[in-house]
Chains A and B, each alone.
Chain A
Amino acid sequence: MITRKVRKWEKLPGKNTFCCDGRVMMARQKGVFYLTLFLIVGTCSLFFAFECPYLAVHLSPAIPVFAALLFLFVIAMLLRTSFSDPGVLPRALPEEATFIEMEIEAANGNVPAGQRPPPRIRNVQINNQIVKLKYCYTCKIFRPPRASHCSICDNCVDRFDHHCPWVGNCVGKRNYRYFYMFTLSLSLLTIYIFTFDIVHVSTVLEVLVCFFTLWSVVGLTGFHTYLISLNQTTNEDIKGSWSGKNRVQNPYSHKNIFKNCCEVLCGPAFPSVLDRRGLMQEDSPASSTSAAPSSSSSSNPMSQTMKTTAPLIPNEHTPDDAKPSIAASAEKSDSPKEEDPPTPQPWVALIKLI
């Protein structure tokens, strides 16, 4: 048995891809993200190449300088959103999973044969409202409030907003503010470029891209500004968690737009709990040519690197909850999914958005 040290990201379950030795974390499908990068960089390149010389000479040299700064900010926000851990919750280790399973069995009591066991839900009271915590059969945990399981990345994400194919990552607690700053700055950049394109039309392609981008990105920014002011996530808004007469009121809202905005945008920067770059030991079987006898410690069932399946818990699918419907709006909106079969191609999500 050869023991070698590996980084923890190499053994993380889920469908993420990692780059730069675990420093970068993205979804598996990155095609649409490359398209986003291409559109932004391409359009801005046309602007800087064809518009800016005219604008610098006839209007002001500050115009291209400001555009360049804004462009760099947009790229920084995009990369920050795409490359960071959105707030993935690590799966339960076997002991924790067993402990939770035992608690569930104790709570359910004896279920008569042939009857379905009751759904695995835990009620907690948050600010005098009853909130239901659902059990995640994949991660073997009761999801914290506002967390949801992304079927594309196969992870539970804290304060899950949606999975965004345009940034190639989930948007959750840790990267929501970067995502918002990205859409906001991209809106400003698009408006800025479009305005000067109208003033001096040099490339029709640029005008067209800006025109269509304007409607979608500005609309998306407006939508997220609305969500932030109410301290809601896209997931909650689409599922209608806090709307309707008989529904629980949003227990996370401070009932004050300014306070809600401050909490979402100026709250603490939460560190990742995944420890992607930590080292761990991995036992691999010795090669056949090795002379040393291998002491057989079999693939450790306690190994947290394997896809965790606790021995007591069968792999069940969650009941079909009200699946979120795609937001019917002209703007670009991303499709939040919960426990749906993973989308095999990014183009499927793209088609759904149009």
Chain B
Amino acid sequence: MCFSSKTAQFHNLQELRHSASLVTKVFVQRDYSEGTVCRFQTKFPSELDNRIERTLLEETVKTLNSYYVEAEKIGGQSYLEGCLACATAYIVFLCMETRYEKVLKKISGYIKEQNEKIYAPRGLLLTDPTDRGMRVTETRDECKSVTQRQGRSSSRHSDFLCVFVLFCSFTPVTELSK
């Protein structure tokens, strides 16, 4: 996950995302202590010491981790999904959303909500780990907002509050862009 802080005023999150800026990115790495399940470290990056309260970030990361646990849970529902899909030669996956995808959408909504309520007012922006290949979450700090539009490829990572919390599959690197 990346956190980025922005000193200039912004009207909404969308403007924040599209503004090019000198951003510092802080990355939150993945936590592999429990295997290859997607989990991010709750260790607080020192770069964000005076930007955001420790408990808020920890709470965000813990909630994200719990979402990923829910997505990767192997239980009755995942067996049913797997068996049904196998019986239909996995054609059913072309028509319906998997449980994992549903949880990823929930995570996306949660990150957006967190950005609106907590991080954007502090000039930070948290990036969805899915955009970083689940390797890291970045928090981006946008130092100045400039309305010039860069190529989408560059604004992609600047928009993200990189908190690379690499979820699940990778090395958790959460980026925090400052």
* Chain A residues packing against B (C-beta within 8 Å): 3, 11, 72-73, 76-77, 80, 87, 89-90, 92-93, 95-96, 99-100, 122, 124-127, 131, 133, 141-147, 158-159, 173, 177-178, 181, 251-252, 262-263, 265-271, 273-275, 279-283, 297, 300, 302-305
Contact = CB atoms under 8 A, between A and B. Distances in A.
A133 B30 CA distance: 12
Contacts of A127: 33-35
A304 B150 contact: no
Contact of A281 (B32, B71, B85, B153): B153
B157 A268 contact: no
Contacts of A158: 169-170
A124 B98 contact: no
Contacts, number: 164
Interface string B157-173: 10000101010111101
A90 B134 CA distance: 9
Contacts of B98: 268-269, 271
B151 A144 contact: no
20 contacts: A77-B89, A89-B169, A95-B138, A96-B135, A99-B25, A100-B173, A126-B32, A141-B135, A158-B169, A158-B170, A178-B90, A252-B36, A268-B71, A269-B82, A271-B101, A273-B133, A273-B134, A300-B153, A302-B153, A303-B153
B175 interface: yes
B93 to A, nearest CB: 6
B83 interface: yes
Nearest to B135: A141
A265 B82 contact: yes
A126 B170 contact: no
Nearest to A75: B89
Contacts of A96: 25, 27, 132, 135-136, 138, 157, 162, 164, 173, 175
B151 A266 contact: no
Given A72-B89, A271-B100, A303 B151 contact: yes
